[in-house]
């Protein structure tokens, strides 16, 4: 039933109707509301359960909530710009090939690029499924169980392909993870240490680690580490400063986006939340 619904949505998207008519047609589809609510409720429920346990046993949780500390926007802009410059410096010898060559070392990266290019046609063709890629491993193709679909990358490519080529979009997805990982790791480190130097050094190690360089050069789905520290920062802010709805909604949103980026990192992040916030204080609920 879900597969049939996705096929109908894709058929409407690929039609020649106006944008308003497409949106109205999708909203009128049978079961569209049901599946949308199931997806939202599921994501919110998982995050609610985790935050509930964290609230009751985590060392960051307190009955006397602290006053929320404001962020220094100037520092954040400076740190983000410095990570952008470091990224450009790291890829400086090939940056001029941004629109003509994918920034990779061969092997699996070519498969990821080919999958990204084909994703546009998969999204537009109602007879194809995002959970099956027929363009590799003839004759059966590749299923989602062998290579998890990266809907985040596919959707960005789909919308930006109207303005830029696939090579440039691939490289943009690749390079954007470095400054974003840096700034979000800085937020997390500073929330814990309150030391600017330590936080910046930590963000540098996280964003420009050898593992990140290697992953970015080979696998587009597991180069997305940028939102992992942001999710932890939102969890800590929620526990320290009260269960403000904005932190709950933001952590839920970025957990969902992380799942669309990489299922590996999504489940790893859930595991780390349990290990970091819950397990050390498990004796409080036993």
Q: What is the pTM of this model?
A: 0.76
Whole-number Cα distances in Å, 36 to 26, 29, 176, 230 = 12, 12, 29, 25
- pLDDT digit string, tens, across residues 75-124: 889 989 999 999 888 888 888 888 888 888 877 778 788 778 877 777 77
User: Does residue 186 contact residue 200 with C-beta atoms inside 8 Å?
Assistant: yes
Q: Residue 259's closest CA among 250, 272, 268?
A: 268
For residue 105, the model assigns a pLDDT of: 81
CA dist 103 and 188 (Å) reads 29
For residue 1, the model assigns a pLDDT of: 45
CA dist 148 and 58 (Å) reads 32
């Amino acid at each position: 039933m879900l597969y049939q619904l996705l096929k109908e949505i894709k058929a409407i998207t690929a039609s020649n109707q106006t944008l308003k008519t497409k949106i109205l047609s999708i909203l009128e589809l049978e079961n569209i509301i049901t599946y949308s609510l199931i997806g939202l409720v599921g994501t919110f429920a998982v995050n609610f359960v985790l935050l509930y346990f964290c609230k009751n046993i985590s060392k960051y949780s307190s009955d006397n909530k602290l006053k929320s500390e404001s962020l220094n926007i100037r520092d954040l802009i400076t740190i983000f710009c410095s990570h952008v410059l470091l990224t450009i410096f790291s890829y400086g010898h090939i940056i001029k090939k941004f629109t003509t060559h994918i920034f990779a070392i061969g092997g699996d990266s070519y498969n990821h690029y080919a999958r990204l290019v084909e994703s546009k046609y998969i999204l537009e063709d109602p007879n194809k499924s995002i959970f099956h890629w027929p363009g590799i491993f003839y004759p059966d193709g590749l299923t989602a169980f062998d290579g998890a679909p990266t809907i985040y990358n596919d959707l960005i490519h789909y919308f930006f392909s109207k303005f830029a080529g696939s090579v440039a979009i691939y490289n943009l997805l690749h390079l954007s993870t470095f400054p974003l990982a840096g700034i979000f790791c800085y937020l997390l480190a500073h929330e814990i240490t309150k030391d600017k130097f330590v936080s910046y050094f930590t963000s540098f190690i996280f964003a420009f680690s050898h593992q990140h360089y290697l992953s970015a050069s080979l696998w587009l789905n597991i180069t997305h580490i940028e939102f992992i520290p942001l999710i932890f920062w939102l969890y800590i802010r929620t526990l320290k400063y009260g269960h403000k709805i904005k932190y709950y909604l933001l952590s839920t949103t970025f957990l969902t986006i992380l799942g669309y980026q990489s299922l590996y990192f999504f489940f790893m992040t859930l595991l780390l939340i349990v290990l970091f916030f819950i397990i050390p204080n498990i004796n409080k609920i036993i």
